[in-house]
Structure 1
């Protein structure tokens, strides 16, 4: 009986698991958007100040290249619900938090982006705690 109950849970995920999957896919969409915005910055489609790779200072060149690759990579991992997706997202988020909160004189101050990353991390942690408690309760 216990074996069939566990199979049923695998076939029909709980509401929390479904909400977590939806949350990860929403985060994947915004990671893809951030990646596209960094690519726009790199190839110079936008006519803003320092919005072309050859006109950027070296610190912006390094950050833009890394994040233009990592954000779409994180989006793929999050969309596929892979275990490495949140890890890559965390690297991107930590990089931007350090850029905008740690070095505002170099990268500018973007408190909305910093706050968004912190909120996403807190929601992610909340989901993981609830899922852990739910699995622990189901195991008993």
Structure 2
């Protein structure tokens, strides 16, 4: 008996690990986004960081990150390219906040360090997937008469 729908190719171990990695980052991004929203609406920090009480730089950065992180989370969960782009934008904003403009936003060495670590792992995964794809192409070329 023939199946009704065509079979999908099986994912390699590298592809599977990459999707798991993206979903772990997606959960983290969603958590970051909810933290920013909680801060902006006064739920966290005893209401001292509500939007109306923030200075101008925080009024620009916090809502931007509160929107970018959850949307990036969706894109990362679905493993689509725009999710990584939005995450990279949010990570760059955080790195600028805590490294370049630390006199305005305060010092936080952990967040930029973790963003650089995640970006490095992402590059390693993309490189591994690219090499895997090249090996598959070479194998197909060799197998063709």
Regarding TM over 0.5, the answer is yes
Contact map agreement 2:40 2:51 (CA 8 A) in 1: yes
Pairing 1:66-77 to 2, within 5 Å after superposition:
66-77=64-75
Cα deviations across residues 62-112 of structure 1 (Å, max 9, x unaligned)?
Answer: 101100001000000000111110000000000000000111100011110
Q: Distance in 1 between matches of 2:97 and 2:68?
A: 15
Cα deviations across residues 30-67 of structure 1 (Å, max 9, x unaligned)?
Answer: 00000000001100012358411111101001101100
Q: Distance in 2 between matches of 1:28 and 1:122?
A: 16
Unpaired runs of 5+ in structure 1? 1-6
Which position in structure 2 is the counterpart of 1:87?
85
Q: After TM superposition, where is structure 1 displaced by more than 4 Å over at least 4 residues in a row?
A: none
**TM, length-normalised to structure 2:** 0.88
Q: Distance in 2 between matches of 1:90 and 1:118?
A: 10
- State which structure, 1 or 2, has the greater radius of gyration over its C-alpha atoms: 2
Q: How many residues align?
A: 133
Given the alignment of the two structures, is residue 55 of structure 1 paired with residue 53 of structure 2, yes or no? yes
Q: Distance in 2 between matches of 1:37 and 1:88?
A: 17
Q: Distance in 1 between matches of 2:108 and 2:48?
A: 16
Moved more, 25-34 or 50-59: 50-59
**CA RMSD in angstroms, aligned pairs only:** 1.5
Unpaired runs of 5+ in structure 2? 1-5, 139-145
Give the match's secondary structure for 2:45: coil
Q: Distance in 2 between matches of 1:22 and 1:113?
A: 21
Which position in structure 2 is the counterpart of 1:136?
134
